[in-house]
A and B are shown apart, each in its own frame.
Chain A
Amino acid sequence: MSIATGQATVMAGITRKRRGILSRIIAHRTDYLYVLPALIVMLVVIAFPIYYTIELSFFRTPPNLQMRDKIWTGFSNYSTVLNSSVFHEVTIQTIIWTLASTFFAFLLGLGAALALHREFVGRGLLRALLLIPYVISAVAASYVWKWLYHSDFGVIGALAVQLGITSEPINFLDNRQTVLASLIVVNIWKEFSFAMVMLMAGLQTVPDQLHRAAQVDGANTWDRFWHVTFPHLKGVSMVTILLLMVANFNSFIIPFVMTGGGPADASHIWITHIYQLAFGRQQWGVASAYAVILFIVMMAFGYFYVKALTRGDEDRAGG
């Protein structure tokens, strides 16, 4: 940088040697003061809960959560979780929910981003309209879709009958076969435009010259997408897919508000099940053990997440 900063650094180095640690921190490490408020908030609301969840997972705690009456139970909460049949069922549902939602949301988002990449009249308006589901509250979305799926007056069921697809309205949400898929549709509706926006931003980084060069070389639309556009989108796609997976894995509102996990646990995913164990059945220890297992799974996500993000940083520094 400039000479002025170089001098300032040298001067700071000299004075630093003369003073004690505390005054040095006050005089020179004002940088910490900027981060301190954020740090305190995050510590109270993150570090503490993580510690507490781990502690709770080794105890049996009375329903009223009076902590002085808790009883040490070792790993029994963990074995309760891992051995329950509901856990296995819910795990499969969580995997289906997460993968299906992510796959279709990404696919629709990618299609929309590619189709919206060309300039045309009303493009901005269209993008805004497609983004509305993403910004409105999941509670509102849940009620709207609950009404659309309604077994007696639902418009989807009625439409299916009028078009001759089914003979009578399907009870989408009260049927073990259809409930999870019905919720996944709502989830895709809610979040595909997130992928769309991310990928649209990614598309802007694809150099136009490359496309034209490929065109001169006789590459068709598909070839140009696969060999020019797609490699450029790899980084963004990675981050988008990871964010979608994390968000879906952590979904709560749509299943909770629309079905509460029912019928007969058929639409429970990990998060809603943990909530039910804790605040529904007051099994605080078991729910905490469940949450700790979830933490461990999330750490794996986190590893890839940070890796994807820092790799992006290196690319940027290189380019």
Chain B
Amino acid sequence: MAVISENVIRPVVKKPIDWWRWAGRAFLTFLLLFTVLPMAWMVLTSVKSQFAAMQYPPQWWPTEPTLNNYFKLLDPNSRVGSEFLRYFWNSFYVSLLTTILGVVVAVPAAYAFSRFRFPGRNFMFFAVLVRNMFPAVVFLMPLFLLMRWMGLINTHGSLILTYLTFGLPLSIWLLKGFYDNIPIQLEQAARIDGATRFQAFLLIVMPLSTPGIIATSIFSFIGAWNEYVYAYTFLSRDSQMTLPVGIQRFFTEFATDWPGLMAATFMMSVPVVVLFLVLQKYFVRALTEGAVKH
């Protein structure tokens, strides 16, 4: 559009070189290299033997690429593999449960924030938001005591309960935005047809807010999958470890196996990157909702 109007207004003048466009391209190229090269080096290292990785000057391109590091991680009969797969499963299971519970709790709350006017509504809403500002570490000491008191230390319950609270404020904030955009008349029509308020909510509003629910779900899943501090503090048993912590333990055990570690970090990134690429649209929406409204 901009190009067309430019031509209409100044049809005779020879178009000068658009320096800004070239500067933009150069900048994007720089950013792309900055972003991608570290990840490329991770992948390249992960297909090297340990000997090949430990050379100076470094072997820029693996001369004898091998998938051995990956086979080791995926082999349930080896010690490394059985540990890795167990951590992987633990992470998956904790993240999935967190996500499901998060939706169950956040959906009604967001709906209430959007539809009802009740005393203390604003206060609660911002209290919920302010939670996001406090760092995980300062909650660690008291939560550690609380979990110990509830007997949840060394169980996944302690993680799921805490992860739930990370996701909730954002989920509620985001879902409220979705509910605000659903015309209240739709519910009213349903209620005139004899539906109760809850039925109207369940049958009319819920399906319309599916994109919002997907967005919040991705966020809680990725958040739980990547969480480190609480898992590091609450779990000490090997059988319970989630990936971010487990990966560190098994790396220290096998000291300097950098190619193995790079293969493991690659595998750890695969689920979130795939989830992100498939559901990108919703992810970006979740990120920007609240701050930017059209």
A residues neighboring B (CB under 8 Å) = 1-2, 4-5, 29-35, 37-39, 41-42, 44-46, 48-53, 56, 65, 67, 108, 111-112, 114-116, 118, 126, 128-133, 135-140, 143-145, 147-148, 150, 152-153, 155, 158, 161-162, 189, 192-194, 197-198, 200-202, 204-205, 208, 211-212, 215-216, 221, 236, 239-240, 243, 246, 249-250, 252-253, 257, 271-272, 274-275, 278-279, 284, 287-288, 291, 294-295, 298, 301-302, 305-306, 309, 312, 316
Q: Is B74 engaged at the interface, CB distance under 8 Å to the other chain?
A: no
Pick the contact of B262: A144, A198, A312 (CB < 8 A).
A144
Q: Given A139-B265, A158-B57, 8 more contacts at CB 8 Å?
A: A2-B188, A41-B164, A130-B35, A145-B38, A147-B258, A147-B261, A284-B141, A295-B138
Q: Is B6 engaged at the interface, CB distance under 8 Å to the other chain?
A: yes
With A and B bound together, what is the CA distance between A278 and B192 in angstroms?
59
* CB-defined A-B contacts under 8 Å, sample of 24: A35-B112, A38-B105, A42-B127, A42-B131, A49-B138, A49-B139, A52-B146, A130-B32, A136-B268, A136-B269, A137-B269, A143-B247, A144-B42, A158-B58, A162-B57, A192-B31, A202-B291, A204-B292, A215-B9, A240-B291, A278-B141, A295-B134, A302-B130, A305-B129
Interface-located stretch among B62-70, B77-85, B208-216, B272-280:
B272-280
With A and B bound together, what is the CA distance between A88 and B146 in angstroms?
32
Contacts of B104 in A (CB 8 A): 37
B residues neighboring A (CB under 8 Å) = 1-2, 5-6, 9, 20-21, 24-25, 27-28, 31-32, 34-36, 38-39, 41-42, 45, 53-58, 104-106, 108-109, 111-113, 115-116, 118, 124, 126-146, 148, 161-162, 164-165, 168, 172, 184-185, 188, 192, 197, 222, 225-226, 228-229, 233, 243-244, 247-248, 251, 258, 261-262, 265, 268-269, 272-273, 276-277, 280, 283-284, 287-288, 290-294
Contacts of B109 in A (CB 8 A): 34-35, 37-39
Question: Is chain A's binding surface mostly helix, strand, loop or mixed?
Answer: helix
Pick the contact of B258: A65, A153, A204 (CB < 8 A).
A153
With A and B bound together, what is the CA distance between A302 and B28 in angstroms?
34
A281 to chain B minimum Cβ distance, whole angstroms, is 13
B38 in contact with A114 (CB, 8 Å): no
A304 to chain B minimum Cβ distance, whole angstroms, is 10
With A and B bound together, what is the CA distance between A57 and B32 in angstroms?
47
3 A-B pairs with least C-beta separation: A250-B135, A115-B24, A52-B142
A174 to chain B minimum Cβ distance, whole angstroms, is 16
With A and B bound together, what is the CA distance between A250 and B105 in angstroms?
26
With A and B bound together, what is the CA distance between A148 and B56 in angstroms?
13
Interface centre among B54, B131, B244 (most CB of A within 10 A): B244
Residue of A at shortest CB range from B135? A250
With A and B bound together, what is the CA distance between A53 and B144 in angstroms?
11
B112 in contact with A128 (CB, 8 Å): no
Contacts of A136 in B (CB 8 A): 226, 268-269, 272-273
Contacts of B265 in A (CB 8 A): 139-140, 143-144
B136 in contact with A250 (CB, 8 Å): yes
A153 in contact with B54 (CB, 8 Å): yes
Contacts of A239 in B (CB 8 A): 291
With A and B bound together, what is the CA distance between A262 and B143 in angstroms?
27
A2 to chain B minimum Cβ distance, whole angstroms, is 6
Contacts of B34 in A (CB 8 A): 189
Interface centre among B135, B192, B229, B243 (most CB of A within 10 A): B135
With A and B bound together, what is the CA distance between A210 and B35 in angstroms?
34
A41 in contact with B273 given A114-B24, A115-B25 (CB within 8 Å): no
A319 to chain B minimum Cβ distance, whole angstroms, is 9
B56 in contact with A158 (CB, 8 Å): yes
Residue of A at shortest CB range from B273? A132
A197 in contact with B288 given A4-B188, A38-B105, A306-B126 (CB within 8 Å): yes
A34 in contact with B108 (CB, 8 Å): yes
A148 in contact with B38 (CB, 8 Å): yes
With A and B bound together, what is the CA distance between A189 and B39 in angstroms?
11
With A and B bound together, what is the CA distance between A51 and B269 in angstroms?
37
B162 in contact with A45 (CB, 8 Å): yes
With A and B bound together, what is the CA distance between A37 and B129 in angstroms?
16
A1 in contact with B135 (CB, 8 Å): no
A4 in contact with B192 (CB, 8 Å): yes
Contacts of B165 in A (CB 8 A): 41-42, 45-46
Contacts of B9 in A (CB 8 A): 215-216
Contacts of B280 in A (CB 8 A): 128, 131
Contacts of B292 in A (CB 8 A): 198, 201-202, 204-205, 236
With A and B bound together, what is the CA distance between A132 and B172 in angstroms?
25
B244 in contact with A137 (CB, 8 Å): yes
Interface centre among B184, B233, B269 (most CB of A within 10 A): B269
Contacts of A161 in B (CB 8 A): 57
A140 to chain B minimum Cβ distance, whole angstroms, is 4
B172 in contact with A38 (CB, 8 Å): yes
With A and B bound together, what is the CA distance between A1 and B58 in angstroms?
70
With A and B bound together, what is the CA distance between A304 and B222 in angstroms?
28
With A and B bound together, what is the CA distance between A58 and B113 in angstroms?
37
B130 in contact with A306 (CB, 8 Å): yes
Pick the contact of A147: B20, B184, B233, B262 (CB < 8 A).
B262
Pick the contact of A129: B5, B35, B233 (CB < 8 A).
B35
With A and B bound together, what is the CA distance between A302 and B192 in angstroms?
43
